[in-house]
Amino acid sequence: MDLLFCLGDILSDFRHLFNQQNFALFQAFIFGFIANRGRGTLTDLYQCSGSGTKYWSFPKFLSRGQWNADAVAAVLIKRIQRDFRSWVYVYDETKALKTGIAQWGLHFFRNFSYQKRRVNQSKFHYGHEFGALGLLCQTPTCWLLFPVWVKLIAPQTIRDKSFAVLKRICSKIPRGLIIFDRGFAWRKVFTMALGFGHHILCRAKSNAVFYRLPKQPKHPQRGRPRKYGDRLDIRRLRYKDVDINAKSYSIASKVVRTRMCDADVRLVVIRTRPKVSKPYRYFCVFTTDLTLEIPKIIEYYQQRWQIETAFRDVKQHFGFDAYRSKSRKSINRFVQLSFVAASLTKLLFTTPNAPQKAISVEKVCQHLGIHWYRPEKLTQGLRVAYLRSQMAVSSFFAKFNEKTNSQNIQVSFQDDTPLPFDEAA
């Protein structure tokens, strides 16, 4: 039961954000998200949480509870950054498919997989979009991404547009490096993030243009000095082989300028060639942090994909898209609590000072009775299954002790007590 005691210890860090009743409901939500085996609706959470309150306290906690979801995300980020020294931010967007018109912020968005031989699906989806922030942390053995902050995007309102949500998140987090996908390669986004003191690491689009640094003229002339030099041709750069994580890459790097950002950026180009008869392919990543080494830049962007798997895990195990709330506040609070539960599940198994450091893949599989699956490291599915088994045992003993009345139960039979089968004989 060390895992459950450790979970309660971590939840105590959020105590100052709630009053007594709301903190009990907050704990019930977290336990319900982890322990539920259904879709993760409010009914599933209430049944699995073991809460002694009435069911209606759960929707009231989301809609009328006196607590701030942004403050919960800030405490979670502070706790994770305290345990891990090496960390970076990852920002991306995800979607939740819905039906009907009762919920707030529903709209149509493009289905980009429609053209990939999926003609039986609609070209547009109807539902919600969310802007999510993940904290990518380095452990002694691997990289882990903790989903820490999520906000609902509603293009119909100025306050909840995609850029407004990103700006709200960037303004409240500590300064650091933010990793974006190429869909966010936009000058307005970079200017905003740099204005708050963050650094940018982003993949360049296929039509991106980079310029060399301008040369200082020998004889200065009148007018504004040049900001951009000659246009850079990535095919003419000097490439060399670099070994990163036991793999060899053909890489070129150069400090350049681009119209997407006011600051100088370091451009890293990876050149690949699948066949000798085929032309080269170029993968471009650039960052405003000029102190980063080339292997670190590539490793950071390689680990960015973990936020996509984190979205899959919260939807599969923690009921991220199973909300039935109608208001903007309730939806934002529900998905934020889902992110907190997913992050705490990972934090339980990776905290450096936790007592359960000895838990290995073999021990978890043996406890769950799994003999056909041996992954190299603990997956989120194994963590959730192991925690659920621990919670099931603890809840069984708790209910057994509550319903047991020691005064009305005879512990042992006396010698002269007649037994039913003695009378029958």
The pLDDT value recorded for residue 291 is 93
CA-closest candidate to residue 342, choices 321, 317, 364: 317
- From the CA atom positions of the chain, what is the Rg in Å? 27
Q: Which residues of 288-320 are buried (b: 16+ CB within 10 A; e: fewer)?
A: bbeebebebbbebbebbebbeebbebbbebbbb
pLDDT of residue 368: 84
pLDDT at position 37 is 87
pLDDT of the residue at 218: 82
Residue type, 230: D
Other beta carbons less than 10 A from residue 339's beta carbon: 27
Residues in the chain: 425
Q: What is the pLDDT of residue 364?
A: 84
Type of residue found at 108: F
Q: Which residues contact 282 (CB under 8 A, 6 or more apart)?
A: 234, 235, 269, 270, 271
Strand partners, 202: 180, 286
- Strands 247-258 and 210-211 come out as antiparallel
For tokens 């539920």, the residue is 36
Residue with tokens 């309660």: 8
DSSP secondary structure of 320-340: TT-----SHHHHHHHHHHHHH
pLDDT of residue 117: 63
The pLDDT value given to residue 140 = 83
Q: Could you read off the pLDDT tens digit of each residue along the chain, which spans 425 residues?
A: 477 778 888 999 999 999 999 999 999 999 999 998 888 899 999 998 888 889 999 999 999 999 999 999 999 999 999 999 899 999 999 999 998 888 999 999 887 776 666 566 678 889 999 999 999 999 888 899 999 999 999 998 989 999 999 999 999 999 999 999 999 999 999 999 999 999 999 999 989 999 999 988 888 788 888 889 999 999 999 999 988 888 889 999 999 999 988 899 999 999 998 888 899 999 999 999 999 999 999 999 999 999 999 999 999 999 999 998 999 999 999 999 999 999 999 998 887 555 445 578 888 888 888 888 878 888 888 888 888 888 876 664 454 444 444 344 343 334 444 444 344 33
